[in-house]
Amino acid sequence: MERKYAWHNYDEQTLQDVMSLGDSYRQFLDNGKTERECVVQSVAVAKEAGYVDLKELIKSNTPIKAGDKIYYTHMDKSIALFNIGTDDMDLGMNILGAHIDSPRIDVKQNPQYEDSNLVFWDTHYYGGIKKYHWVAIPLAIHGVVVKTDGTRININIGDKETDPVFCITDLLPHLGQEQMQKNAAKVIEGESLDLLIGSQPVKGEEKEGVTKFINALLEKEYGFVERDLLSAELEIVPAGKARDMGFDRSMIIAYGQDDRVCAYTSLVAMLEVDKVKRTTCCLLVDKEEIGSVGATGMQSRFFENVVAEILTLMGKPNSVNVRRTLENSRMLSSDVSAGYDPLYASAFEKKNASYLGMGVVFNKFTGSRGKAGSNDANAEYMGFIRRVMEANNVTYQTAELGKVDLGGGGTIAYIMALYGMNVIDCGVAVLSMHAPWEVTSKADIYEAKRCYVAFLNAADETI
């Protein structure tokens, strides 16, 4: 089946729009290397677009009506935005759902130790990574430290030009003969991903002199002591900014594009759509990379609770209304797909792979091998999606995540489908997915945004 390059459809003005969206997306990535930082940015632009905090409406018992724009943050790690339509909400919503966590390395609660006049922080990796990717590259530390008095200290060290950076060391090849005999999963062990943070001792101190120097510096420069790491969330991420890639600047290389490329385009689409007939919703959630667990993951009840709160302020407090609203909703699970890489062609089935520059990607199913853990959207919903895309001239493609016995992956789609709603995965093709630096096409980013706008506006079309 013939595929079309999105680039072929663009005139000079559209090309400027493509590049402009890419520029603003890079800024979002630079300022949002953690889920907390993404929520902060999302709240700021939502407020600027006229969205109000649902928590304030609940506190004042303010009725909600058509035309209201509302946001709700959950534990500063997830956010839901709603644009209330003129149709009854229990007729269903159009939902975009992406995740804002990304594979990374986390600092353990009791991490610090000194060995041979070097001080390290012990770590535990988060999500599916190739551990050898993370050694011998500049790393930054982002997150929060919460003291016993409740004071929260925001940490962002390593991304300003004047900041120090950190690294996980590797063995030199001259001494690495035994290491190089190991398979890729064992070349670097999980317990060896320790972050080097300092080497200068306190003058005259022979025993743990470097530890004492580091501890004094942490208290002076950053306002916390070693014991405060017990109540900290510190994420180790690649240091450096998102960059245009290629002589033609047609791509972006950056950390965290899975899944912030879909989160950003979903957010932009949500804010671009104004008056709607069918209520629209944008969900940006945490913990997808480790199974959508925890209080801020999609498996928690926070989204269902938020919908219940909104319906209550609309005069529909009955739980039946909540169930009807969710079941009658339809969703794009905004998540990335594996872009075809000719250097690793044996991992893909070319007819059913996604390609950079050929538009937004629909994955009818994900899961692994025999579609295990998959949502698997029905044919009627896929027909509806095609109709909406083609009516709006959106360049799109369909794909699977690799060969049948090789591929697989999970999204939040199957979780939302538990409510009985129609869901399909839809996002941007990515090269080097889950590596410290991932690659996307600016054309695909632009088409994803256009796709999400078209979907949010699809009110009268039936499935």
pLDDT surpasses 80 at 462: no
Residue 370 is predicted with a pLDDT of 75
pLDDT for 224 beyond 80? yes
Q: Report the Cα 265 to chain-centroid distance in Å.
A: 11
**Whole-angstrom distance, CA of residue 61 vs CA of residue 90:** 20
CA atoms within 13 A on the CB side of 229: 20
Residues 244-281 have pLDDT tens digits of 999 999 999 999 999 899 999 999 999 999 999 999 99
- pLDDT at site 418: 94
pLDDT digits (tens, 9 = 90+) for 73-128: 999 999 999 999 999 999 999 999 999 999 999 999 999 999 999 999 999 999 99
pLDDT at 45 (0 to 100): 98
The pLDDT of residue 463: 76
Classified as helix, coil or strand, 331 is: strand
Q: What percent of the chain has pLDDT above 70?
A: 99
Range 203-224 average pLDDT: 93
pLDDT digits (tens, 9 = 90+) for 42-73: 999 999 999 999 999 999 999 999 999 999 99
pLDDT tens-digit readout, 281-332: 999 999 999 999 999 999 999 999 999 999 999 999 999 999 999 999 999 9
The mean pLDDT of 338-354, rounded to a whole number, is: 94
C-alpha to C-alpha distances, 140 to 134, 160, 163, 436, nearest whole angstrom: 12, 10, 9, 12
pLDDT tens-digit map of 130-163: 999 999 999 999 999 999 999 999 999 999 999 9
Give the distance between the most distant pair of CA atoms in the chain: 77
Q: Is the pLDDT of residue 367 over 90?
A: no
What is the predicted pLDDT for the residue at 386?
A: 95
Is residue 1 very low, low, confident or very high in pLDDT (cuts 50, 70, 90)?
A: low
Q: What is the DSSP string of 351-402?
A: GG-B-TTS-EEEES--EETTTBT-----HHHHHHHHHHHHHTT--EEE--SS
Confidence of residue 22 (pLDDT cuts 50, 70, 90): very high
